[in-house]
Structure 1
Amino acid sequence: MSWTARFISSRDEGTAAPLFRREVVLPTGHGEVVSAVLRLAAHGVCEASIDGRPVSDELLAPGWTSYEWRTRYSEHDVTERVRGERFAIGIRVGNGWYRGRLGWEGARALYGSRLAVIAELRIRFADGHHHLVATDSEWRTSTGETIADDLYDGQRIDARRARPGWDRPGFDDSEWAHVEELPSDTSELVASTVPPVRRLREIAPASIAPSPSGRMIADFGEDIVGWVRVTVSGAAGSRITVRHAEVLEEGELAIRPLRSARATDEYTLSGGIDVFEPTFTFHGFRYAEIEGWPGWPAGSASDRVAADVATGLTAVVVGSDLPRIGRFSCSDPELTRLHENVVRSAQGNFLSLPTDCPQRDERLGWTGDIAVFAPTAAFLFDAQAFLADWLRDLALEQQANGGVVPYVVPDLFRHTGIPPALEPFDATAVWGDAAAWVPWALWQAYGDPAVLREAYPSMAAHARRVRSLLSADGVWDAGFQFGDWLDPTAPPDDPMAAAADPGVVATASAYRTARILSETAAVLGRSGDVAEFEAQAEALRAAFRRLFVSDRTITSDCATVYSLAIVFGLLDDDQLGWAGDRLAESVAASGHRISTGFAGTPFVLDALTLTGHLDDAYRLLLQRECPSWLYPVTLGATTIWERWDSMLPNGAVNPGEMTSFNHYAFGAVADWMHRSIGGLAPAEPGYRRILVEPRVGGGISWAETSLETPLGRASVRWELEGERAHLAVVVPPGSTALLRVGDLERELAGGSHELTVPVSPSVSAAAAPVPAPNPASLNSPRPVA
């Protein structure tokens, strides 16, 4: 549908968030209003109301996209709001990603210096008459109580500057300014297909207590993303400041991990009862430091004041409202907690796009993070529309970069320049491979070839770009690479200094991508491309084996290189035995502590499992000492950390310049937990056929996993009794399942099944090495014969 409306803007380009209003008188003689739909978008982030009531519960709309080419618009059914003869539309606009600060170099207004809004209200009457209300020069603008707002720095609200009734009919706007119409290219506007950002839940403070310095600290009990809603009364003009942080250090807010982000909201009181909610920002935090609360400190009355503060503070958790579809729990409470932490980190970082962290001066769509986490995300949530939309921006940014997938999407660095430490800019392994790995994960999870069809040009462009970068030896061993990012052996100030040779990581990743392209081309019926990418894959495999494999060793001889070689299918069947043994030796030599980074961690447990070392996989997963998945859990973590030791055992924050306590990448382990502990995996894309293969071990006595598949609910529950396992399996209608437990292999039709089978947990891993898995099916089980 074409647009009649124009983008409108305030001529005042100050820091205060602009308000826009229009009073509407409906024509008469056409009967009742039978439908009214409001379409809305902004350069910035916006909130609309009619007669003082929000038109929706969406937040931070229209979200962050590659604004040069795409800005989402939303549609809202407001029929019940416009049945009267007269009403008013109000829209407030904040800086958001469009004009706010982005990145750690302090850049602002990367997409434009003018905040603007565009809206159309299309009304249809009973007699078929249509009436249009659109943003144009007749609208009025002013400012209100929000005097500054920024996603990184927070929001400043002065309740004395509120304009009661400004979005209701009859308000006197004679002193408001006329808006300015801007040149409007509405071809950039695309209908939103993603779940909006919403308030997901609310949390009361777990405690209110003074810090060692006497500052009031509210602890909300978990690391969340959102803000604190404040309800308070006090003297007019007095100010309350709320500063946020993820952890405490020596009892005070640990603000160093914020880097330059202020993460501070400031509220000036009106003198009455004020409710402050900073909906034009968001913070990653567990703790909030409250300064200026009336009556604090109050000596012996401090307990009463603390109780008053507790009733006046509510943490509001926000994020893209993705439906939850996958669940897991087991007999080990810390392992179940780890899984819950993965869920929280995904929810916190799925805010308009898949970001890296929610608290510091970054919050960017790093491609490497979602490349390795996509299979987990696609199990936990219905993430197809959310990630498919992000892939559209990836393709646009890639095209603008001459076929090179950027490090972050939207591509901040195309505006600010590539950081020197990340040069020279070109295709990179894992990060750039998101172009292929993410759509393939969505295909495996949901079975809809449309995502492959749409993403295919981007996937192929990346694979061909990688081919152009190979050396004369046929491997990818030149140029900048992130490598096995955040390998725990790397020093805090050099996260790329991993044990794994970056050329080995890059060549292995390039092989997997080429195999995915060959498989994708086959799904889409592109026979010529099948041959092209199959040849590319086989050439990479041969070069990998020729240059990096010798004397039963892979170059750099560390856990990551063996994991990638095994799981990606770079080795022959007769090589899997020694490679798996060497991996197990490496894992044991590290004391069954983690020795892998972003590239190796998602695959190390699969590599151990596939080569008959399930006991080592469980010992690695269940390790509690640092570095390990459960080490943060033992310290009370409620989300996944960016670094294995984001907090040191002595309670100090990691000294590295880059430290986050809410970063989902290492949570990719949940994918193995779903498939190998829970026993629920797709044997065919979209779970048309299911593999039920729980791998009993690790001292776990029961586990249960469920998933709302495209065909219906599937679930597996097993419980040990001695050397027998009781299983309850639900196969959705229209699907079938292959059950493998111990020596049993059985076909299951749709419906509910219960059975008891013998197992030997202590020797469950002592199986012969299995054939190399299809690398295109990575993070799904090995193909079923």
Structure 2
Amino acid sequence: MTSDAPVTVNAPRIGLSAEPFVATASPRLSWTTVAGTDNWVQASAEVELTLGTARTVGRIEGDESVFIAWPFAPLQQRETAGVRVRVWGTDGSVSPWSAPTEVTAGFLGSSEWCARFVGSGSDQPHLLRTTFEVRGPVRRAFLYATAFGAYDVRLNGAAVDDAVLKPGWTSYQWRLLFDVTDVTAHLRQGANTVGIELAGGWYTEAFGFRDRARRFYEGSPAAAAQLVIEYEDGTADTVITDENWRWSFGPVVAASIYQGETYDARLREPEWASPGADDTWSPVVLVDVPDVRPEPRTSPPVRVIERREVAQVLTTPAGNTVLDFGQNLVGWVRIAVTGPRGHTITLRHAEVLEHGELGTRPLRNAAATDRYTLRGGGEETWEPKWTFHGFRYVEIHDWPGEFSPSAISASVVHTDMPRTGGFSTSHALLNRLHENVVWGMRGNFLSIPTDCPQRDERLGWTGDIQVFAPTASFLFDCNAFLQSWLEDVRLEQKAAGGVVPMVVPAVIPQVPGQLEPVAAWGDAITVVPTVLGERFGDHGALSGSFDAMKSWVDTVTARTGGSPLWENGVQFGDWLDPDAPPDQPGRAKTDPGLVATAYYFRSAELTARAAEAVGNAEDAGRYSELASRVGEGFRATYTTAAGRMMSDAPTAYAVAIAFGLVEGERKAAMGERLRHLVRAYGYHIATGFVGTPIICDALTVTGHVDTAARLLAQTESPSWLYPVTMGATTIWERWDSMLEDGSINPGQMTSFNHYALGAVADWLHRVVAGLAPLEPGYRRIRVAPTPLDFLDDASAWHETPYGRASSAWRRDGEVVRFDIEVPANTRALIRLPSGAEHEVGSGTHTWTEHHPRPRRTRPELGLDSDLATIVDDVEAYHAVLGAISAIDPDRAAAFRRTTRWTPGRSLRDPLSHTPLDVVDAIEKALAALPAGELS
């Protein structure tokens, strides 16, 4: 029976991203269907390929619509194809043809790359150019370009695209990307000029910490380009970089990723865009570069994504002018200024103010300073292009004349990934926390996944993305981005004999342990591909990394000497445990061997699953047996039969529960102990990099979601919401990167834009809103919303590979309404808080259930009340702290920090040495609280 409801197909995706060029001859296809009826399932599809006037149609039987193998002959270099899709439903419905997607084969044949790498032989930014003739009507023209460094190309004076910091950062000694651009519109009959602006970028940067910073890549920057011109008559010309090009210095005097850019507009760019203007230029040098054949870029490029206006102009106590953009962001500022020739403006960037002044100490060796010298003679507009800064505040020195905030805007810069997910709630602080997670990802997904975007680091720390990958994969379409980075991970790992370096690209060999296996960091090679396969339904993510996954687990096995425990070598453990001293962030409560062994188990298990997914039964059995042996060793060494961990700390219990190392009664006992410890710490965070992303999950699966909710709602330091109360607009590296008195944490390692601790957002998406993949790529969706007592509502949406899914709940008195959207061609398993389960198809679905908030009864409270009773009663807890703080704030802070709120002890116990006036104030504050049933 044919349905009359409309069914439409969106324009298909060809390859991993929506970019107009594909890097392979047989790119995979994906499409999404919008159906006007519920429970729509694809029965078959037709895919039409158009090449010139030729049309080919391939038929796909079944319901698959994500990462479909290319059903046509492979594309040839520079071949442009149009692809459209139509689908049939199992209900008899049929869609019209989708809009076409047009792509061009952007790869080059093995012998086609013939450009030479040229430059000035100097590290200083400079310009390259040549002239060439266009001898007839052009059918089309493509430019292939790259650099060891950062480059931009102009044809006849015009920029060829809007990407910045090209070609991005890769492990240059093994892998270099090229960009391809259709430049047909930029050419003209007769004489033309092509120019390249070249700077050092990451290639000439000094990497490392403080006085150990060193250049890693050798040699001066160099660029290579080839322009292929196809004429209407069927002939073609190729223009390449070679010894006939010329070079000259330009107005960019200095440029550095960390230090900033200096631009002297008096050194006006010569007429390098006009033919015949290179008489004063010098012959280029053929630069000796790594023996790497450039390959096409597969990830979206870095672009200016957004412009933001000044939110506030401040005058500091020292009399300096500081601009507040209202948001900690990554990029640079654009200025429009009028002033005398030779006048220099200085722009200093920082993330925070400290006691009213620009807080630059966390930048360490990064100057983060841009300078612009005016040419004079009217308004001048400028923005840097060879650096980037992490900042909210910009301090301006020597602005000529009266300053207007409209003269400056901020350019937000990151890899151009589509936004694919969101979360919202009426709880303002939690909403801002999630927004901080989003901004933290935006700032740190710039060419590679970095740890921070502002100080003298900005490195691809593997541990950070290992914990954040699930959150990242929900918020943005980062599959192509992370798969590109994983190629560098595999190359670095191979060079290091199976070890996954702590940072990729691995540019800090002078740091002890950089090329030693480190748990939770090196495990990125097993975790990130698994996440990509799970979230994007991309089997290629697993198959492409499977050998590297095995290599990592085998390397760890070799280092353990056959022991199931991983207790040797360099380990970071539960990095940045809040109880660790500021300058010793690795001194965590949880034993590092316990953490390492837990990750050894996890990676072995993930590798076994990957082996099964790729059809390798032998390896599946081998790594499954290894995981079993490591798990047994973990339990025998680090746990007791009664369900205690030898490291009696929250992270120890969290990894045992979340990684599946314990089951049954022991798991339940560990969940109860974890709940006890979280309460004992006053519902403050007591975990670091390893424990924080999984503690709420560990509490949830053991039946203590109320404890996770109280942990999430905490606003005192350390907590997720404390930075929000301090005005944070991104996720901090430390729980107390800024202290309550407004001073910056005294440790030498402090950042206000680190995404790792924001990994809790994945729990908000999956558990609180309740939206999670049940099968790879959300082919089946698990929807299990969890109303938290302190929230009135929560919702999440996600553009799955099959279309938009959403889950929302809202309280109306004692009734909770659940609204769920399931995309076409998928199914969802709905589990409501009552335990009711529903298997549904696509469409919108609504349920209501009776879920009154728990009613509370308060006993009479006093000094003999149980400490656990006090801390479980939010009003009582704050009454105690408030009474102490009113008399002695320092004592209140110490009491909050040191008291362990355990059952069986009275409030009187930790107050035994407290002055009597403070004790009396506490007693009066508790007595003033109403007893009995509370509303």
Q: Over residues 200-229 of structure 1, what are the superposed CA-to-partner deviations in whole Å (9 max), with x where a residue is unaligned? A: 111111112221111111111110101111
In the alignment, which of 296, 303, 326 is matched to residue 221 of structure 1?
326
C-alpha separation in 2, matches of 1:183 and 1:344: 39
Q: Tell me what 2:174 maps to.
A: 69
Q: Say if 1:6 and 1:182, in contact at 8 Å, map to a contact too.
A: no
Percent of aligned positions that are identical: 46
- Is this contact kept in 2: 1:226–1:315, CA < 8 A? yes
After alignment, is 173-182 or 597-606 more displaced? 173-182
Contact 1:43 1:115 (C-alpha < 8 Å) held by counterparts: yes
Aligned to 1:779: none
- Correspondence for 1:462 among 552, 564, 568: 552
Match of 2:471? 376
- The one-letter amino acid of 1:239's match is T
- The structure 2 residue matched to 1:719, chosen from 810, 815, 821, is 810
Structure 1 CA distance, aligned partners of 2:558 and 2:289?
40
RMSD: 1.6
Corresponding residue SS for 2:163: coil
Give the match's secondary structure for 2:733.
coil
CA distance in 1, matches of 2:793, 2:164: 40
Aligned to 2:697: 606
Q: Which amino acid aligns with 1:145?
A: P
Q: In structure 2, how many angstroms separate the alpha carbons of the residues matched to 1:753 and 1:271? A: 65
Partner of 1:143: 249
Displacement, 1:109? Answer: 4.1
Cα distance change, pair 462–761 in 1 and its aligned pair in 2 (3 A):
farther
Cα deviation for residue 418 of structure 1 reads 2.5
Pairing 1:333–2:333 present: no
Check conservation: 1:8, 1:137, Cα contact below 8 A: no
Counterpart-to-counterpart distance in 2, 1:72 and 1:14:
21
Q: Deviations over 1:551-608 (max 9, x none)?
A: 4311111100000101111112121221011000000001100000000001000000
Amino acid at match of 2:133: V
The one-letter amino acid of 1:563's match is A
Aligned residue type for 2:685: I
1:542-561 maps to which residues of 2 (within 5 A)?
542-550=632-640, 551-561=642-652
Which residue in 2 is equivalent to 1:7?
Answer: 116
Residue pair 1:64, 1:97 contacting (<8 A) in 2 also: yes
One-letter amino acid matched to 1:338: L
2:228 to 119, 122, 132: 122
Question: Greater shift after overlay, 269-278 or 404-413?
Answer: 269-278
Q: 2:437 aligns with which of 334, 342, 353?
A: 342
Write the distance in 2 (CA, Å) between the matches of 1:257 and 1:576. 41
State the one-letter code of the partner of 2:612: A
Query: In 1, are the aligned partners of 2:219 and 2:288 still within 8 Å (CA)?
Result: no
CA contact (8 A) 2:118 2:242 kept: no
TM superposition shift of 1:85: 2.8
Q: In structure 2, what is the equivalent of residue 645 of structure 1?
A: 736
Pick one of 585, 591, 604 that aligns with 1:501: 591
In the alignment, which residue of structure 2 is the partner of 1:773? none
Amino acid at match of 2:155: I
Moved more, 178-187 or 636-645: 178-187
- Flag the structure with larger Rg: 2
Instruction: Name the CA distance, whole Å, in 2 between partners of 1:626 and 1:206.
Output: 28
Give the Cα–Cα distance (whole angstroms) in 2 for the partners of residues 757 and 35 of structure 1. 62
Q: Distance in 2 between matches of 1:129 and 1:183?
A: 33
1:311 to 400, 406, 411: 406
Q: 2:916 — aligned with what?
A: none
Distance in 1 between residues matched to 2:290 and 2:742, nearest whole Å: 53
Rounded to whole Å, the distance in 2 between the matches of 1:643 and 1:528 is 44
Which runs of structure 2 are paired with 1:332-411 in the superposition (5 Å)?
332-411=427-506
Where 1:188 maps in the other structure, the secondary structure is coil
**Is the partner of 2:501 in helix, strand or coil?**
coil
Per the TM alignment, residue 252 of structure 1 is displaced from its structure 2 partner at its CA by: 0.8
Alignment of 1:752-771 (within 5 A): 752-762=844-854
Please list, as runs of the form range in 1=range in 2, the aligned pairs for 1:225-264 lying within 5 A after superposition: 225-264=330-369
Contact 1:94 1:115 in 2 (8 A): yes
* Aligned amino acid, residue 103 of structure 1: G
- Residues 471 and 477, structure 1, Cα contact 8 Å, conserved in 2: no
Q: CA deviation at 1:437?
A: 0.5
Check whether the contact 2:149–2:222 (CA below 8 A) recurs between aligned residues. yes
Assess if the C-alpha contact under 8 Å between 1:368 and 1:431 holds in 2. yes
Q: Counterpart of 1:755 in structure 2: which amino acid?
A: W
| Contact preservation (8 Å) 2:216, 2:508 | no
**2: CA distance between counterparts of 1:230 and 1:553?**
60
- From 674, 685, 692, give the equivalent of 1:594: 685
Deviations 1:378-417 (A, max 9, x none): 1111111100111110111111111111010000123xx2
Deviation per CA, 1:716-763: give whole Å up to 9, x if none.
121112332212211111110011112321111011222223335539
Task: Measure, in 2, the Cα distance between the counterparts of 1:647 and 1:544.
Answer: 37
- Relative to the length of structure 1, the TM-score reads 0.93
Normalised TM-score (structure 2): 0.78
Residue 288 of structure 1 deviates from its aligned partner by 0.7
In structure 1, give the amino acid aligned to 2:284.
V
Following the alignment from structure 1 to structure 2, what is the Cα–Cα distance between the partners of residues 319 and 583? 39
2:778 counterpart of 1:687: yes
Please say if residues 4 and 134 of structure 1, whose CA atoms lie closer than 8 Å, have aligned partners that are also in contact: no
Query: Secondary structure at the residue paired with 2:560?
Result: coil
User: What amino acid is the match of 2:147?
Assistant: A
- What amino acid is the match of 1:86? A
Tell me if 1:47 matches 2:152. Answer: yes
2: CA distance, partners of 1:679 / 1:115: 49
Is 1:165 matched up with 2:271? yes
Paired residues of 1:372 and 1:668 also in contact (CA < 8 A) = yes
Q: Deviations over 1:116-150 (max 9, x none)?
A: 11001111111211111111112111011001000
1:525 is aligned to 2:631: no
1:106 is displaced (CA, Å) by 5.7
- Indicate yes or no: 2:289 matched with 1:192: no
Supply the distance in 1 between the matched residues of 2:740 and 2:676 (Cα, whole angstroms): 26
Cα distance in 2, alignment partners of residues 207 and 129 from structure 1: 59
Distance in 1 between the 2:567 and 2:385 partners? 46
**Aligned AA for 2:223?**
V
* Structure 2 match to 1:751: 843
Partner of 2:266, secondary structure, is: helix
* Separation in 1, partners of 2:674, 2:324: 42
- The change in CA–CA distance for 1:762 and 1:737 in structure 2 (over 3 A counts) is farther
Kept in 1, the 8 Å contact 2:143–2:225? The answer is yes
Is 2:123–2:204's contact at 8 Å kept on the other side of the alignment? Answer: no
Note if contact 2:347-2:395 (Cα within 8 Å) is conserved in structure 1: yes
Report the secondary structure of 1:112's partner residue. coil
SS at match of 1:507: helix
Do the aligned partners of 1:7 and 1:184 also contact (CA within 8 Å) in 2? Answer: no
Report how far residue 433 of structure 1 moved: 0.3
Cα distance change of structure 1 residues 271 and 254 upon mapping to structure 2, 3 Å threshold: same
Q: Which runs of 5+ in 2 are unaligned?
A: 1-107, 856-935
Following the alignment from structure 2 to structure 1, what is the Cα–Cα distance between the partners of residues 272 and 477?
A: 39
**Inter-partner Cα distance in structure 1 for 2:274 and 2:820:** 56
How far off its partner does 1:14 sit?
5.3
Q: Give per-residue Cα distances to partners, 1:85-118, cap 9 Å, x unaligned.
A: 3321111011101112222246454222221110
Distance in structure 1 (CA, Å) of the matches to 2:573 and 2:561: 17
- Mapped contact 1:41–1:62 kept (Cα < 8 A): yes
Match of 2:797 in 1: 706
After TM superposition, give the deviation of residue 4 of structure 1 in Å. 4.6
Question: Partners in 2 of 1:509 and 1:432 — Cα distance?
Answer: 10
**Matched letter for residue 162 of structure 1:** R
- Secondary structure of the structure 1 residue equivalent to 2:272: coil
Q: Is the 8 A contact 2:316 2:322 kept in 1?
A: yes
One-letter amino acid matched to 1:733: A
Tell me which of 744, 754, 757 is aligned to 1:666: 757
Q: In structure 2, what is the equivalent of residue 510 of structure 1?
A: 600
- For residues 441-480 of structure 1, the aligned pairs below 5 Å read 441-470=531-560, 473-480=563-570
2:716 alignment partner AA: E
2:132 is the counterpart of 1:24: yes
Q: What secondary structure, in the 3-state scheme, does the structure 1 residue paired with 2:228 have?
A: strand
Q: Is the contact between residue 578 and residue 686 of structure 2 (CA under 8 Å) also seen in structure 1?
A: yes
The 2-side partners of 1:450 and 1:552 are apart by 40
Distance 1:109 1:408 in 2: 16
| Secondary structure of 1:469's aligned partner | helix
